[in-house]
């Protein structure tokens, strides 16, 4: 995945871990059209089975913001047609993360406002610095969250809490986000990236096919009744039985050694 980016920093490790940094700190990592295209392009490539990527940590450059959503300077005087075209690009960006088969951990290092908050909820789970803040301020601009915010956020934290966040446009702090279930853990700012990378490293050591199938079962099972979800789970599970990784995992256990998974 040797791709040059203008607004992303991508660091990969031999384990299959990728650290992706939104890199527009001068505008609090707000995304313009080009940045959204780069994010979508990276995650689409990372999600292919031959990419070698087993887990991703997504964060923002600097210590002030993770991401403050769409760059409104680019949208100033934008025509309705151009606005709609751009929003399709943004939709593709969010879905490239939300439906990615690879686990994505968000490391929220500061403000996560508007589309930045939607990036957080598009990830599988999130850690936040103790100084992080979260908000959906779109209603203050006479729009509302259109990158999945009205659908994913209520599923993550409940309808009433999501309604308060979206309808008031007011921010919540990291401690409230933790209590509401928006993030899994809060840590001191200087420890955030290391904490996220340690968790990603653990994921990278596990069977990659099993991780992909488990993530798929979790994600799609939320949208169906329990009986249908169990059917989906069993189908996903049985796809792993005839895999080299499954045989390697059982052999390694019995031989009391660390397994070497190849994703096959």
Distance CA(137)–CA(190), nearest Å, equals 27
Give the Cα separation of 111 and 53 in Å (integer): 27
d(CA 64, CA 189): 10
H-run or E-run covering 107 = strand 104-108
- Catalytically annotated residues: 118, 138
115-122 and 80-98 are packed helices; what angle lies between their axes, rounded to 10 degrees? 30
Which residues does residue 57 pair with via DSSP β-bridges, in sequence order? 19, 105
Burial 120-146 (b: 16+ CB within 10 A, else e): bbbbbbbbbbebbbbbbbbeeeeeebb
Percentages helix, strand, coil for the chain, rounded to the nearest 5?
50, 15, 35
Which segments of 185-254 are extended strands (E)?
A: 185-187
Q: Where are the alpha helices (DSSP H) in 66-114?
A: 72-75, 80-98
First to last CA, the chain: 20
């Amino acid at each position: 995945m040797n791709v040059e980016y203008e607004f992303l920093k991508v660091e990969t490790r031999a384990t299959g871990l990728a650290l992706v940094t939104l890199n527009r700190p001068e505008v609090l990592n707000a995304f313009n059209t080009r940045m959204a295209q780069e994010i979508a392009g990276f995650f689409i490539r990372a999600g292919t089975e031959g990419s070698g990527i087993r887990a991703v940590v997504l964060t923002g450059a600097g210590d002030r913001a993770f991401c403050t959503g769409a760059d409104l300077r680019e949208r100033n005087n934008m025509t309705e047609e151009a606005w709609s075209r751009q929003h399709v690009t943004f939709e593709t960006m969010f879905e490239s993360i939300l439906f990615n088969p690879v686990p994505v951990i968000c490391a929220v290092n500061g403000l996560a406002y508007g589309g930045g908050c939607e990036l957080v909820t598009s990830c599988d789970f999130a850690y936040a610095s103790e100084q992080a803040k979260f908000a959906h301020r779109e209603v203050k601009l006479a729009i509302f969250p259109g990158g999945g915010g009205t659908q994913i956020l209520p599923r993550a934290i409940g309808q009433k809490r999501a309604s308060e966040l979206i309808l008031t446009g007011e921010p919540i702090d990291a401690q409230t986000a933790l209590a509401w279930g928006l993030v899994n853990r809060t840590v001191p700012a200087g420890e955030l990236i290391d904490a996220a990378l340690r968790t990603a490293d653990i994921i990278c050591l596990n069977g990659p096919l099993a991780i992909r199938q488990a993530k798929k079962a979790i994600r799609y099972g939320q949208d169906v009744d329990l009986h249908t979800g169990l059917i989906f789970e069993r189908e996903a599970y049985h796809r792993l039985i005839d895999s080299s990784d499954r045989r390697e995992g059982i052999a390694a256990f019995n031989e009391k050694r660390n397994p070497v998974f190849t994703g096959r």
